[in-house]
Amino acid sequence: MPQYYIWTIGCQMNKAESERLGSYLEQLGYQATVSVEQADLVLLNSCVVRQSAENRVLNKLNSLKSLKGSRPNLILAVTGCLVDSQLDQLKQSFPDVDYFFKPGEFPQWLGKDKMDSVLPRYPSPSTFVTIIQGCNNFCSYCIVPYRRGREKSRPMAEIADEVKELVHRGAKEVTLLGQNVDSYGHDLPDRPDLADLLSKLNTIEGLARIRFLTNHPKDMSPRLIEAVATLDKVCEQLSLPVQAGDNDILRAMRRGYTVEHYYQLINEIRKRIPEVALSTDVIVGFPSESERQFQQTVDLLSELKFDTVHVAAYSPRAGTIASRELEDNVPSAEKRKRLHKIEQLQEKIATEINTQLWGKLVEVLAEGRKEDKWWGRTRSGKLVFFSDPGDFPGKLVKVRIEKTSPWSLQGKVELNRID
């Protein structure tokens, strides 16, 4: 039986696509292997959102050269955001690669041309569904629109059918994915929006939870906030990347909103959904970011107190507006210092937030087992570990929290299972 090996880095969209590619290869008779040396087909699902990610992909490709040299029949394929429209150039740079195909597409040599038509045979209890590909925003630092192309929404009926089938195959929770899910539907005939899609999915029997990411602060509508507040299966968890706490930096990033708008949005969300868990993304060391402007970001994070903050140091990506027009003039050591300061601040905030859950009974969807413990997530997305001899994957259980940390919680299952 031929064997396949998939190497994935990057966002959840890449992970979802790799899961589907793996499942499809199994339907074709391939078997998964954890050893790249034993594989007959090696597939790299790449990410280039940061220079460090692209470097990892290039290193991986270089390391596969000798394998291909010693085993000429090995099939080497590459997808993900490394694959842009300049295919000829890629083929020239990497002659050992047999196939390149764009993210979201299915390689024709495998007999399909659409990723969406391939579902994992045994989806995990919490699975991913892409609802919109691409992005129309062109934030000045971001390479994604150049690699994933313009926004393209999938029809609501197609997504609903897919979610029903995933539930039929064992999924309990779906996370709807898109670079900007708030743009969902504007390119479809009846112009439905994400709130319409959530209402439709909320009626699917057997589906317990719905999440979605990523939102854009300039596009998140009151209708969407209302949908999260009122639809019982939609989890109280929102990701809303702010990127910077200073208006001049936001303008240079071409984000399309102000700090004042962002504060107002968070206040509205918290008023309507008091138990909401919020996450955000921040870039430090953007070109010309002064100490004072960085402090504005620190102040915003201290004031708004997010459950999770993803922080990255700015690195220019060739081909973006920022790399062409702005000088990368914040020294690396300063970027590292700012990054560290935010990590420390967030550790303190997450400790405070999670400590409040001590002694509480929370609903957890058990997703798997790691060593001697089960793990799963609350509706608000908190990672919970619990010990129990029971058999839980895919079940909703109630767990009494006995230990908290900034990154996860630990507890004990109480008898009242609620599935």
| Contact status: 215 vs ligand SF4 (CB under 6 A) | no
Single residue of 137, 320, 346, 404 touching ligand SF4 by CB under 6 A: 137
Find the helix or strand (DSSP H, E) in which 262 lies: helix 259-272
From CA 365, how far away is CA 419, in angstroms rounded? Answer: 10
Tell me how far, at minimum, the Cβ of 42 lies from ligand SF4, in Å: 28
User: Among residues 255 and 377, whose Cβ is nearest to ligand SF4?
Assistant: 255
User: Among residues 142 and 409, whose Cβ is nearest to ligand SF4?
Assistant: 142
| Contact status: 80 vs ligand SF4 (CB under 6 A) | no
| Contact status: 144 vs ligand SF4 (CB under 6 A) | yes
Burial category of 400 from C-beta neighbours within 10 Å (exposed 0-12, middle 13-18, buried 19 and up): middle
SS (H, E, C) 134-163: CCCCCCCCCCHHHHHCCCEECCHHHHHHHH
Report the DSSP pairing between strands 41-46 and 75-80: parallel
Single residue of 77, 131, 132, 135 touching ligand SF4 by CB under 6 A: 135
| Contact status: 280 vs ligand SF4 (CB under 6 A) | no
**Sheet of strand 308-313: strand arrangement:** 237-239, 277-284, 308-313
Tell me how far, at minimum, the Cβ of 321 lies from ligand SF4, in Å: 10
Report the DSSP pairing between strands 132-133 and 209-213: unpaired
Single residue of 139, 174, 282, 339 touching ligand SF4 by CB under 6 A: 139
CB atoms within 10 A of CB 80: 28
Tell me how far, at minimum, the Cβ of 147 lies from ligand SF4, in Å: 10
Segment interacting with ligand SF4, rule: CB under 6 A, options 134-142, 156-164, 221-229, 271-279: 134-142
Single residue of 138, 192, 231, 323 touching ligand SF4 by CB under 6 A: 138
From CA 44, how far away is CA 10, in angstroms rounded? Answer: 11
Find the helix or strand (DSSP H, E) in which 85 lies: none
| Contact status: 216 vs ligand SF4 (CB under 6 A) | yes
Applying CB under 6 A, the residues found at the interface with ligand SF4 are 135, 137-139, 142, 144-145, 179-180, 216
